[in-house]
Each structure stands twice: as structure tokens, then as C-alpha cells.
Amino acid sequence: MNKAPLMKITAALGFCVALSASAVAETVLRVATWLPPGHAMNAEMWPTWGKWIEEATEGRVKIKLEYGMGHPKSMFDLVEDGVVDASFSYHGYVPGRFKLPQIAEQPGLGVNAEAASVALWRVQNKYFNKADEFEGLTLAAIFTHGPGYVHTIKPISSLADLKGKKIRIGGGIQSDLGKRLAITPIAAPGSKVYEMLQQGVIDGVFMPMGEQQSLRLYEVAPNVLAVPGGMYLGSFSIFINPDFLANLPKKDRDAIMSVSGEKLSAMAGSAWDNADAKGLTFAKNNGVTVTSNKQLAQEFKQISKGLDEEWVESVKSKGVDAEAALKELRKIARSQAK
């Protein structure tokens, strides 16, 4: 009997079994995202974290982005309910639930998103975790976008010109600023902004500079009132379903968390910073008028005076030392600033 064909068949079967075992062993971390593919979160942040996870788990866990999963405010529930395994969202989209992260949104911090994100992660862990605002979720990172400005259809030369204007806000500190600026606030997710500006539903929007490029604001809001240092920062979190993590082998669970936390927070903030720098250059190259001067800074300083004290008062029921946390956040952020 010729044993060669039998040996080849046996080898082939062994190879197939090995491939099958490999496929079974690979776990997919399904990530819901609500921003367009070209946005820094999808083009830079998620792929980088995915690479870190794949390397840390030796290829056993990979991420997969899922688009079109709904309003960004629903991401928290989608992850908690196990519809997807992870996501991120803006805290201001869920009024009342995430009050503490607004510590980083307060005007006057004067740092980039990366520095603010490192500070926010450290303060969250030292002061805020006990308040359990992320109940039902595993917090993988907490970060901010870069300085927020006002992007408008028509030119404006001062913050006073915003009075009565219909301005899209994302919630959080933007709501408080909107009241002080006497705007007509229109709440909407970032993904709807282009359409609303195009149709004239709103006169402008509060957003960081990177969105001039990523959301194509230069086409519909070619005027930016850029208060020096920015008007605010926006706070976000990245979160994972606890059951997804619990079902992983401990070595993979630990591996994922080892490339999350402060490291992931800093990287997410850095992605926003990179997008803002590119967005500013892109905007200017495409004819966008960017107005920024000392008068704006002085005007905004008066308008925003006392907002941090109001935040401290608003979180008294949380049982945290908000004043100490705010002081430490500013110290850490400014020490990390580039």
C-alpha cells in the first residue's frame, strides 16, 4: 500500500484543524462608532488601540468597527446591554448622568487635549470612581477633544454678536456657556451638524477646529470665532461591556486593560490634537476666516467667570472633594502641556 497519499491527507486534515482552532480562538471586540470613517477617532484612535490590543493578546483579540448604530447618546446603553462590546461617547449627550467629567470642560485650563486627558484620567481614578457614574460599564479611557470654538455661516466679530443666534450645542459646559451668551441653543449630535447648517436650521455650532475638515464645516460654516485658548473642552469616555471582559481568559482581559487607561486616554486626546492642527491648516487653505484676538479673550473671560464654582456646587451630592479635584486636574494638565 502506498502510504504517501494517506500521509498527505492526514497532514492536510491537521492543517485544517489548526486553522479551525485558530479561528475559534480569535475573539472580535465589536466597537460601535457614530462618527464618519475619516474622523480622527475612526482613522487614528480606534486602529491604534486595535493594534495595541492585537499585539498585547498575541492576536487572540481584534477589534471591528460597527457604523450606523444610532445616536451617540445610545452608545452607553448599547454597550451595557451587550448589543456591542465597546464604544465611546460625549458625556454631554446624557444630561445628568455624567456630571463629574465636566471638570475638564471648564474654561481657562489652557492646555491641549492630550494633557487634559491625562489629567482627567488620573483625577477620575483618584477622586471620582467611587461615585460610580459608569455603573454597568468598564471604563477603558476618559479624554477630551481640543479647544472648542464657534463656527458660523455668516461672519461675526465678537461674542456679543451671538446673542439670539441659533447655535448647535453638544451639552455639558456648552449648555452653560450658551445661557451666558444668550444664544438660542439647538441640541444635536455632531453627525447632524453639516445638514443642519446646509439647510439653515442653525446659524452656527460649537466645535473644535478639526471638524472644519473631518465634518466638512468649511463648506457650510466658513467663519470661525476662535477665542484664544478655546472656550471649552469636551469630555468623552471609552467603555467596554463587563461581561465581554469577564468571558475572556484572564491573560487577555489583563492585556486589554494594560493598553487602556491613561495610555489610551492620552492617545485619544493626541488624536484630537492632531486633527485640530490639520483642521486649522485645512480651513485656512480653503478660505475659512478665523478671527482671534485679545479682545475676544477679555470678553470671554468676563462671560465665563464663575463657571468652575458653579460646577463644584452642582456635584456636591456626589460625595467627592470637587475643589481638590479641580485644583489637582489643573496642576497635572499644565505640567503635561506641550
- Give residue 276's pLDDT band: very low, low, confident or very high (50, 70, 90): very high
How far apart are alpha carbons 305 and 62 in whole angstroms?
46
Which candidate, 193, 223, 213, places its Cα nearest to that of 277? Answer: 213
Backbone φ and ψ for 227, nearest 5 degrees, come out as -60, 125
Q: What confidence score (pLDDT) does residue 11 get?
A: 46
Query: What is the CB neighbour count within 10 angstroms for residue 96?
Result: 5
- Tens-place pLDDT, residues 6-28: 444 444 444 444 444 444 468 99
Q: Which residues of 325-335 are buried (b: 16+ CB within 10 A; e: fewer)?
A: bbebbbebbee
How far apart are alpha carbons 127 and 100 in whole angstroms?
10
Task: Say how far residue 209 (Cα) sits from the centre of its chain.
Answer: 14
Q: What confidence score (pLDDT) does residue 20 get?
A: 43
Q: What confidence score (pLDDT) does residue 25 get?
A: 63
Q: CA-CA distances (angstroms) from residue 94 to 34, 97, 112?
A: 15, 6, 24
Q: What are the structural domain ranges in the chain?
A: 7-336
User: What number is the average pLDDT over the span 47-70?
Assistant: 97
Which candidate, 105, 114, 107, 85, places its Cα nearest to that of 243? Answer: 85
Instruction: Provide, for the chain, the percentages of residues in helix, strand and coil under a 3-state DSSP scheme, each rounded to the nearest 5.
Output: 55, 15, 30
Lowest mean pLDDT among 1-5, 31-35, 76-80, 282-286: 1-5
Q: Is the pLDDT of residue 198 over 70?
A: yes
C-alpha atoms less than 13 angstroms from C-alpha of 268 in its C-beta half-sphere: 32
Q: What confidence score (pLDDT) does residue 13 get?
A: 46
- Tens-place pLDDT, residues 320-334: 999 999 999 999 999
Collapsing DSSP to helix, strand or coil, 106 comes out as coil
**What's the mean per-residue pLDDT of the chain?**
93
Lowest mean pLDDT among 13-17, 76-80, 120-124: 13-17
User: What number is the average pLDDT over the span 98-122?
Assistant: 96
Lowest mean pLDDT among 106-110, 150-154, 250-254: 106-110
User: What number is the average pLDDT over the span 48-54?
Assistant: 98
User: What number is the average pLDDT over the span 149-157?
Assistant: 96
The CATH number assigned to the domain with range 7-336 reads 3.40.190.170
Q: Is the pLDDT of residue 244 over 70?
A: yes
Q: What confidence score (pLDDT) does residue 191 get?
A: 87
How far apart are alpha carbons 168 and 209 in whole angstroms?
15
- Tens-place pLDDT, residues 174-193: 999 999 999 999 999 888 99
Q: What confidence score (pLDDT) does residue 337 get?
A: 82
How far apart are alpha carbons 253 and 138 in whole angstroms?
12
How far apart are alpha carbons 316 and 20 in whole angstroms?
55
Q: Residue 332: which residues within 8 A CB-CB, separation 6 or more?
A: 118, 119, 122, 123
Q: In degrees, to the nearest 5, what angle opens at C-alpha 245 toward C-alphas 318 and 84? A: 85
